[in-house]
A and B are shown apart, each in its own frame.
Chain A
Amino acid sequence: DTGVSQNPRHKITKRGQNVTFRCDPISEHNRLYWYRQTLGQGPEFLTYFQNEAQLEKSRLLSDRFSAERPKGSFSTLEIQRTEQGDSAMYLCASSQGARKQFFGPGTRLTVL
């Protein structure tokens, strides 16, 4: 049973650098979500794809953030010019239609 996978699991970067994370959803799932979770808080929605179309973006997703899902399969989330406030766990989830979302293990980003 292949679940949602995310790479890398941990990323340490210096302020101002660009980082890119990858999410591989469950293969038959057409919906993919990105969430961000800061320490001691619940996850917050960032963006949502249905197949390759990015249909919703949160106000949390500043201009420095961009997400793609080029072939409707895996997705990437890029953060440009990272800031210390970007330090968080970035979670990816997938679902088939409006059914329950399955989450990946997350990518923990630390910006020094």
Chain B
Amino acid sequence: AQKVTQAQTEISVVEKEDVTLDCVYETRDTTYYLFWYKQPPSGELVFLIRRNSFDEQNEISGRYSWNFQKSTSSFNFTITASQVVDSAVYFCALSEAAVLHNAGNMLTFGGGTRLMVKP
């Protein structure tokens, strides 16, 4: 069975601080995808990134960066120079990389980390 753990339930930082959100996952699959989604107060989940299990290169997109370490089953997310608009709940998720044509790619989510960025 798949499982995603986000041990930090809430993080509070002051604007311009860097912050890292932790994600640890469990899966028996050798091929899988990892995701991060942002859920602002409006409630809609916003896609941030998808990585497949064969690509361990770290990725940077503006102030966001992701560190994927297969050896420790972790996929951590760092926001550099945080801003008030970054305040949201962030979810890490996992899905199998379906081999069968009709197999779904259901997402297994972690419990989320609420990030509060204070001015």
Contacts and interface: CB of A to CB of B under 8 A. Distances in A.
A85 to B, nearest CB: 19
Given A105-B42, A106-B43, A42 B98 contact: no
A100 interface: yes
Instruction: Classify the interface of chain B: helix, strand, loop or mixed.
Output: loop
A105 B109 contact: no
* Number of chain A interface residues as a range: 20 to 34
Interface residues of B, number: 25
A73 interface: no
B91 interface: yes
B55 interface: no
B25 to A, nearest CB: 12
Contacts of A95: 105
A45 B112 contact: no
Interface in B75-119: 91, 93, 97-98, 102-112
A106 to B, nearest CB: 5
B104 A48 contact: yes
Given A45-B107, A48-B106, 11 more contacts: A40-B111, A41-B112, A42-B109, A42-B111, A43-B109, A93-B45, A98-B97, A101-B47, A103-B45, A103-B46, A105-B42
Interface of B: 4, 35, 37, 42-47, 50, 91, 93, 97-98, 102-112
